[in-house]
Each structure stands twice: as C-alpha cells, then as structure tokens.
Amino acid sequence: MLAPRIDWAASEGEGYLEGLPVLLKDNIETRDMPTTAGSLALAANAPGRDAPLVARLREAGAIILGKTNLSEWANIRSSDSISGWSAVGGQTRNPYDPARTPCGSSSGSAVAVAIGLAPVAIGTETDGSITCPASVNGVVGFKPTVGLVSRTHVVPISHSQDTAGPIATTVEDAAIVLSVIAGSDPADPATAEADARKVDYRAALDANSLRGARIGVMRFLSPSYSAETRAEFERALTALRAAGAEVVEIEQAPTDLRAIGGWELTVLLTELKHDLNAYLASTEPAQVKTRTLADVIAFNAAEPRETVLFGQDLFEKAQATRGLGDPAYVEARARSLRAAGPDGIDRMMTEHRVVALIAPTTSRAWTNDPKDEDEMQGSASRLAAVAGYPHLSVPMGFDRGMPVGLSFIGGKWDDARILSLGYAYEQVTKERRAPPLP
C-alpha cells in the first residue's frame, strides 16, 4: 500500500506524495535520464526536461526511481509486434507465468507494480495500453479522460487518444496519484478544461457507491472472451448485486465496432506521422539523429537489432498518410469520435439509464510465442479509447491461474465516479493476489 507513505495533512500542497517511489513508462520524459520509447533510435534522447506530469509528481514530493520497459514505440511500429518487447529493454515477462504476455504497451509499469518494485507507476494508453497490462498482471490501471493529464514531452502516437494514467495495487492508490498528475497545461490544448474538471479523487471514493447504482453490462462483447473469464465475470456480477448495484443487460452493440476499428487505425496512423515528427523536431539534434518518422524507418531498416522479431509495416503505412487535412482522415476522426462517444458510450448510458458500463477487461494472458495459436481473447478498451472517456480495470479473478480484470467505463469527465465504483467493487471482492515468488 502506498497510503501510509502519504501525509494526508499536506494533501492540498507540497509533500502530498513525500518520499513516494514512482516508476515511469519509458516514453515519458525526465530531465535526468534518457527517454527511448524502447527504440535504439532514441537511445540517447535526453533533452533535459521533465514532462509536466513528472514535474507535478516531483512537486508533490515523489521520487522518480527510473523508467520501465514498454512495447517498443507503444506497439504502433508493427502489426506483428510482441507486447512487452523493445530493442532497448528486451522482453518484459508476466510474473504469474513468464511464458505468457504482460500485454502492452505499458508492460513494464504494470509488472513493476505487480512484483512490488514500486507502489505505483505511470503508464500511457492509446487503446488498451494501461488497462490490458493491469488486467493480465493483476493490478489496477486507470485511463483518464483524454485531456485530464498533460501529454507534453511524452513520445506520442495520437493527440486524439493518448493519455497517461496511474497503475497501482489499489484503486485508492491510483486515485491519490491521479489527483497529483491531473491538471491543465498551456502546451497541451486538450487539457484546457482539466483544472476546472479535476477533483480530489481519493476524497471522492465511496465504499457504498454501488448501492442503488445502475450498471450496464456490455453483453455484446461476451462471445469474444474465454469461458473461464466469462465465469469470473458472472461471479463479479453477483458481487455487484450483493453490494446493491442494479445490473442492466445491454445485449446489442449501439454501433458498428468493426467500423470504429477501421476509422481508428486511419486516425492513429495519420496522427502518428504528424505528432511524432513534431516531437522528434523538439528533441536535441546532437542526441537524436532521427528527426522524422522517415528517418526512424530508415534507421530500423539498417539496424538488425530492431527487426530481429518483427518489421515496421505500421510505421510505413503512417509515413504514407497525407496529413491532418486529408479528407479521409477528417472523415474517419469525425465518424470514430461520434460512433464511440455520442452514438456509443453516451447512448448506452442514456438509453439504459446507467451510470457506468462494465465488461471483462480481457481474458487470460496469451503466450509470448508468435507462432503459438494462443492469442488475445476479448477486449473492453476500444469504445473508451476512441471516445477519450475514462476506463478503469480492477482485479476480478483468475482464468487458468492468470489474473483477469473487470472494466468500469463512463462518460467524459466521469473519472471520479468510475474510480469510486471500482473502489466499492474492490472493497467487496478483494480479488487481487500477488504473483508467486520466483
């Protein structure tokens, strides 16, 4: 637990996280160490600046222990990428079974918390990159509303979907850290409302918040999960009902999830080229010779250590995109945002009169072997990721000995309520079990 390390009397100012050790995903800049995104092309990337979220942690008294490994370039380099692998850090292992995936891309952040290297770590998510690693490593992961936490000096994929968020062993710990890192940043226009929207997320936690709450079950996702995860989900629903929640079945998807996936890819690849070029241009030329996405592609092609396991087809497709003014991009972004948000999450919550949506985060971790037919089964991340809405994963149980999480999803700026509902579920069930000792 990180709570005993925190001086609650100082919760409004300096010292809130006094002495708290924090690890950061290695795509978040700090002034005193390189930020590589797992790529050898950025091995010397040390611009000497703190990301605003890091500055907030330091101001609150936190101690930055170091950087955690990640899926290289946050899993956007290749459609065949291996979660948790990077040329800089090698393969991150799942502590419950080293032959199985830690998921990604915030693999090292989730594993570090799971095995107790630090009480909290910061991950980033574009689609599933906090919540999936949290789920399969048996910890709590929270993806905030996009725009609640600054993305400045974080190696980007997409300004539409990127956000940083906490990974911890408890919802309370995640809420404590979110209260510190949330806030407006003039350099990140998406955060313009953050100061007005943020609250003390720990103070908003209520162990009785499930009582009388209508919770929507996204049954249309159920067929994609393993039988064991579905059984764990039924146990979770029983616990929710026992805690006083009214469980509402939602059988039909409100929108075409496959179409959203296609639009999302167009958005991510187009924004990757634009946003990464802007980021690389802001780094130190003496340290980073790859100044554009095209330079990174050329670097990888000439560096065998980068392509030993998989290629860079997504980078190449991103390089071929035609910019933020491309009508195909403009249309895909508008359609995806509407389908996932107003016509997706918002519609379900309004029509079924629910305050949150739930589903298993994903099923048990699959194997690291790309030749193995074992693969990912089910995911609750897409709608919240594309809409930019909050998504919390809390330990739910075990699927063949591997942890699985329960996802709580809400509307834009519903961060406090989603954390509170997940906290209430966590207090009733206490499903987390630490991984076995090696």
The dihedral sign for the CA sequence 144, 34, 323, 106: negative
Assess whether 25 carries a catalytic annotation: yes
* Tally of domains within the chain: 1
Per-residue pLDDT tens over the stretch 70-89: 999 999 999 999 999 999 99
Non-local CB neighbours of 303 within 8 Å, separated by 6+ positions: 40, 41, 87
pTM, 2 dp: 0.97
* 12: pLDDT strictly greater than 60: no
Residue 397: inside a domain: yes
Tokens coding 219: 């049954």
* 35: pLDDT strictly greater than 60: yes
**Which pLDDT band, with edges at 50, 70 and 90, does 11 fall under?**
very low
* 13: pLDDT strictly greater than 60: no
**Which pLDDT band, with edges at 50, 70 and 90, does 421 fall under?**
very high
Per-residue pLDDT tens over the stretch 245-276: 999 999 999 999 999 999 999 999 999 999 99
Non-local CB neighbours of 160 within 8 Å, separated by 6+ positions: 146, 267, 271, 333, 337, 388
Q: What is the mean pLDDT of the chain?
A: 96
The percent helix, strand, coil of the chain (3-state, each to 5) is 35, 15, 45
Residue 212: inside a domain: yes
**Which pLDDT band, with edges at 50, 70 and 90, does 437 fall under?**
confident
> What percent of the chain is predicted at pLDDT more than 70?
97
Distance CA 157, CA 82 (A): 17
Residue 263: inside a domain: no
* 320: pLDDT strictly greater than 60: yes
Average pLDDT, integer, range 312-334? 98
Count H helices and E strands in the chain, helices first. Answer: 13, 12
Among candidate residues 64, 67, 107, the one with its CA nearest the CA of residue 85 = 107
CATH of the domain at 408: 3.90.1300.10
Residue 285: inside a domain: no
Residue 144: inside a domain: yes
**Which one of 39, 71, 107, 129 is the catalytic residue?**
129
Residue 301: inside a domain: no
**Which residues form the domain of 45?**
3-253+335-429
Per-residue pLDDT tens over the stretch 374-386: 889 999 999 999 9
Residue 310: inside a domain: no
* 2: pLDDT strictly greater than 50: no
pLDDT of residue 14: 53
Assess whether 129 carries a catalytic annotation: yes
Cα angle vertex 368, ends 397, 23, to 5°?
Answer: 70
pLDDT of residue 15: 66
**Which one of 71, 81, 83, 105 is the catalytic residue?**
105
Tokens coding 303: 């560096």
Residue 110: inside a domain: yes
* 373: pLDDT strictly greater than 80: no
pLDDT of residue 30: 98
**Which one of 25, 67, 198, 412 is the catalytic residue?**
25
